[in-house]
Amino acid sequence: MPSEMSTIDGDRSVQELRRELAEAREQQAATAEILRVISRSPMDLQRVFADIAASAARLCAAYDATIFQADRDFLRIVAHHGPIPSLPVGDISLPLTREVATGRAVLDQRTIHVADLLAETAEYPASSNRARLLGFRAIVAVPLMRAGAAIGAITLRRTEARLFTDKQIALLETFANQAVIGIESARLLDELRQSLQQQTATADVLKAISRATFDLPRILDTLVGSAASLCDAFDAAILQKDGNFLRIVSHRGHIPSLGPVGQGTLPLTRGTSVGRAVLDRQMLHLADAQSETDEYPEESAIARRLGFRTLLAIPLLGAGEAVGAIALRRSEVRPFTDRQIELLHTFADQAVIAIENARLFAEVQASTRELTESLEYQTATSDVLNIISRSPNQLQPVLDAIVQTAHTLCQSDRAQFFRLEMANIVWQRIKEQQTPNFRTTLLRTPSRRSRARGPRPARPHASVARSTCQTARATQNSPQATSTEPGGDDRSLLFPSCAMVSQSASSRSLVMS
């Protein structure tokens, strides 16, 4: 007859198997729940870490559980569950050294298991002191491994000197793997989000270039706004070469600039980071511009005055020449990532495209204006010659055509033609928008060279003096020439408000005002 306490293989009771089965089911349920959280909220890492820490502490019979992520030379707490005191989540808690059990697990990329840290003063002096201060003894730390590198650790602690079982350590390693899955999923989704944002920003800039080719300030403003946002910078600016200076042509952000857009300038010297980037045609990245007093004295002084630290400058290269630079700044010491630097290179290329398009368009416009003016001049000349050929014996139609053509092409308010007879100017023809007494004033103006003291009237000088007369300011009653330009037979007298052209050094003058 079988015994009352049934056994399997003579050493394990049914109750033990049932307990193990229940534990396995609980572990599977916990891991399944964590995976569900990761799949439903892949970007909510805090919730994923909190669930992992709570499940690890409960299922492994620990007093607390903590998840750390490596942050340069330190370990930062990203989740904690349990009564043993801990720093707030997000704070840097431990130095990444071999004197700390958790630090050694990360550095050696292996599980560290200690029954009583109070007795390990020689092997783990920092952890031993911490255990004595916070009141715990046993610890197990499992590294978080991703692509062959440790990116953090998960730890369990107990207040008594009692080792964790192999099953508990294996379960903790499972939780460590799930934490890595959560981190990697969040990282990949974040990279995808950033990639989509970058593509959208690039498309927006290219769209602005295609739609507003003639509006360079608008394109550059769109570009620096996208650069500052996507590269997590405190500000962004584009500067263009202007002789021995770099002029700010666009700026977006909270850090003060050297002056208003279009007016603020920076010396084009090697003492500034942006200046050196342009001169050397190479990217320049300063982690802390304020500390670069020897290498970049001018930049360091500007950084202390305006309150920024990290700076990234990339030259704008067009046809092998630097035409300016795009720069990002941060008011804290936090270098830009490789991805952000690569993105800024893309924005620099787009800025060059926009600047070159605007330059080419301006050249086409200038050439078109010149051709149009030349055609107008040729047409006007042809019209006057046609009138001369049709009216060889009539002077007045010819003079009318000359005055009308000069009035139109020179965009003057009035044009007058005078004929020199003996020693007096005789008004011949006028095309005007004039005051009522202007014609009378013209007829009273003498033309001969008077030896009397006092200023000479400017109007007859073009015909009498056989030279171009020019004044910056003139009145109807007493115009004064401030400069003369001697020359050959054809001369002009130009005023901001009055201009005189002597068509013949001996006989006629044409006045335009």
Instruction: State yes or no: pLDDT of 337 exceeds 70.
Output: yes
Residue 386 inside a domain? The answer is no
Same domain for 39 and 156: yes
Tens-digit pLDDT profile for residues 265-295:
888 999 899 999 999 999 999 999 999 988 9
Q: Is residue 418 part of a domain?
A: yes
Q: Are residues 182 and 223 in the same domain?
A: no
Do 182 and 280 belong together in one domain?
A: no
**Confidence at residue 501, expressed as pLDDT on a 0 to 100 scale:** 47
Which pLDDT does position 28 carry in this prediction? 64
Q: Are residues 232 and 185 both part of a single domain?
A: no
Task: Answer with the one of 354, 375, 410 that is the final residue of a domain.
Answer: 354
Q: Which of 305, 333, 354 is the last residue of a domain?
A: 354
Residue 96 CA to residue 103 CA, distance in Å, equals: 5
CATH number at 312 reads: 3.30.450.40
Same domain, 113 and 239: no
Q: Are residues 245 and 326 in the same domain?
A: yes
Q: Who wins on pLDDT, 353 or 497?
A: 353
Q: What percent of the chain has pLDDT above 70?
A: 72
pLDDT at 149 over 70: yes
**Total count of domains within the chain:** 3
- 155, 189, 223 - which closes a domain: 189
Whether residues 162 and 237 fall in one domain: no
Q: State yes or no: pLDDT of 498 exceeds 70.
A: no
Task: Report which of residues 211 and 362 the model is more confident about.
Answer: 362
Which residue, among 308, 310, 375, has the nearest Cα to 336 in the 3D structure?
Answer: 310
In a domain, 207, yes or no: no
Q: Where are the alpha helices (DSSP H) in 156-288?
A: 166-211, 216-230, 273-280
Q: What is the DSSP letter of 371?
A: H
C-alpha to C-alpha distance for 286 and 295, rounded to whole angstroms: 11
Q: What is the per-residue pLDDT for 314?
A: 95
| Assigned domain for 248 exists | yes
Local confidence band at 151 (pLDDT 50, 70, 90 cut-offs): very high
CA dihedral 46, 51, 52, 58 (to 10 degrees): 150
- Tell me the CA distances in angstroms from 503 to 416, 418, 444, one per residue in order: 12, 10, 21
Tokens of 11: 């050493």
Which residue type does 12 have?
R
User: Please, what's the largest Cα pairwise distance for the chain?
Assistant: 158
What are the pLDDT digits (tens) for 403-460?
888 777 777 777 777 766 655 555 555 555 444 455 555 555 554 444 444 444 444 5
Enter the tokens of residue 25.
């089911």
Structure tokens at 56: 């690890």
**Could you tell me if residue 380 is inside a domain?**
no
**How far apart are the C-alpha atoms of 252 and 233, rounded to whole Å?**
10
Q: What is the domain extent for residue 288?
A: 212-354
Using CA atoms, how far apart are residues 98 and 73, in angstroms rounded to an integer?
A: 12
User: Up-side HSE of residue 153: CA atoms within 13 Å toward CB?
Assistant: 27
Cα Rg for the chain, rounded, in angstroms?
43
One domain for residues 137 and 222: no
Determine, yes or no, domain membership for 204.
no
In a shared domain, residues 315 and 284: yes
Query: Are 143 and 291 in a shared domain?
Result: no
Query: pTM, whole model, 2 decimals?
Result: 0.53
Could you give the CA distance from residue 469 to residue 458 in angstroms, rounded to a whole number? Answer: 7
Same domain, 500 and 407: yes
Chain mean pLDDT for the chain:
78
Q: What is the pLDDT confidence band of residue 47, given thresholds at 50, 70 and 90?
A: confident
Whether 219 is covered by a domain: the verdict is yes
What are 99-144's pLDDT values in tens digits?
A: 999 999 999 999 999 999 999 999 999 999 999 999 999 999 999 9
Please state the φ and ψ torsions of residue 292, each to the nearest 5 degrees: -90, 50
| pLDDT tens, position by position, 154-209 | 999 999 999 999 988 988 998 898 888 888 887 877 777 777 777 777 777 677 66
387 domain residue, yes or no: no
| Contact (CB, 8 A) for 65 and 96 | no
Task: Specify whether the CB–CB gap between 510 and 503 falls below 8 A.
Answer: yes
Name the residue among 281, 273, 294, 288 with its Cα closest to residue 336.
Answer: 288
Residues 179 and 232 in one domain: no
